Amino acid sequence: MQLRNIKLVIEYDGTRYNGWQSQKNGRGIQEMITNALHQVTGEEIKLNGSGRTDAGVHAYGQTANFLTDSKIPTEKIPLAVNSFLPKDIVIKSACEVSEDFHARYSVHGKKYMYIVNNSNIRSALDFYREYQFGEKLDYKSMKKAAEYFEGTHDFRAFMASGSKVKDTVRTIHKVQLKKREDDRIIFNFTGEGFLYNMVRIMVGTLLDVGTGKKKPEDVKNIILSKDRTQAGKTVPAQGLYLMEVYYE
């Protein structure tokens, strides 16, 4: 018998979780959803996420898929599953996809957002949703520096030093910066794929440009150096959001 393949779009506040994947210490978001799907379907569900997110990272558009033999209509899955989920995780939509769809292997691109609160004082309402960084920033220089990330490059210098990935060439389609009136700077990154901690290291490097520690043109040479120590620091997880995962 043919199982249905269901794709989910998921929003979560990562603050209380140990990341997407279940960990020895603490709860994983994947585990919470797998359990809720079990409650609804009565089946042992294998949930494939589009990729992991670290502890504290948020998502407006994480994706996952699973196979099911259950009779529940696809459009009723979100409401049914959400009733078994905590308030900080929600299934936004569910749709049936072809049998060869895999939330990770079929990915064509991803979009991430990073929020910097460029004020001297932390926010009470957004503390766990942004990185408060009070130093004066040259916004124009940061915008200029961001352009060097666009295109296909070897991003080894922007990968967490512990990562064992061999092929470090990635294509970044677009890096956009927006300045909001409330002192927030919003960074948007769209690309085919990202290395481990890559977005957070790119933001850390752009902040070094903003403070004048680095020049916009330096970004070009940092990429060419393939040396992690040349790039900026890894900014905190809590400012990062997985916005969208693209498929064909």
Q: Is 154 in the site for its own copies (CB under 8 A)?
A: no
Residue ranges of alpha helices (H) inside 51-91 are 77-82
The answer to whether residues 159 and 165 touch, using CB atoms and an 8 Å cutoff, is yes
Does 1 engage in binding with its own copies (CB under 8 A)? no
Q: Is-contact 147 175, C-beta < 8 A?
A: yes
What is the closest distance, in whole angstroms, from the C-beta atom of residue 120 to its own copies in the complex? Answer: 9
Choice from 110, 111, 129, 153 touching its own copies (CB under 8 A): 129
224: helix, strand or coil = helix
Out of 54, 167, 183, 208, pick the active-site residue. Answer: 54
11 binds its own copies (CB under 8 A): yes
Question: By C-beta, is 3 or 79 nearer to its own copies?
Answer: 79
Please answer whether residues 142 and 222 qualify as being in contact, where contact means their C-beta atoms are separated by less than 8 angstroms. Answer: no
Residue 71 phi/psi, 5-degree rounding, is -90, -5
Q: In the complex, what is the shortest distance from the CB of residue 172 to its own copies, in angstroms, rounded to a whole number?
A: 25
- Contact with its own copies (CB under 8 A): which of 32, 81, 89, 145? 89
How near is the Cβ of 121 to its own copies at its closest, in Å?
A: 6
- Could you count the other beta carbons within 10 Å of the beta carbon of residue 153? 19
Pattern 26-65, its own copies, x by CB under 8 A: --------------------------------x-x-----
Cβ count near 17 (within 10 Å): 27
What single-letter amino acid sits at 88? D
Q: Is 88 near its own copies (CB under 8 A)?
A: yes
Give whichever of 11 and 43 is closer to its own copies, judged by the CB atom. 11
Neighbours of 181 (CB within 10 A): 5
Does 7 help bind its own copies (rule: CB under 8 A)? no
Calpha distance 105→121 (Å, rounded): 42
Tokens (6 digits) for 228: 């992690």
* 54 a catalytic residue: yes
Report how far apart, in Å, the C-alpha atoms of 18 and of each of 58, 64, 86, 145 are.
11, 18, 15, 32
One-letter amino acid identity for 242? L
Residue 138 makes contact with its own copies by CB under 8 A: no
Site for its own copies in 109-128 (CB under 8 A): 121-125, 127-128
Can residue 180 be called a binding residue for its own copies (CB under 8 A)? no
Number of residues that bind its own copies (CB under 8 A): 22
171 strand-pairing partners: 152
**The one segment of 48-56, 81-89, 211-219, 227-235 that binds its own copies by CB under 8 A:** 81-89
| Residues tagged active-site | 54
Site residues, its own copies (CB under 8 A) = 11-13, 58, 60, 78-79, 82, 87-90, 92-93, 121-125, 127-129
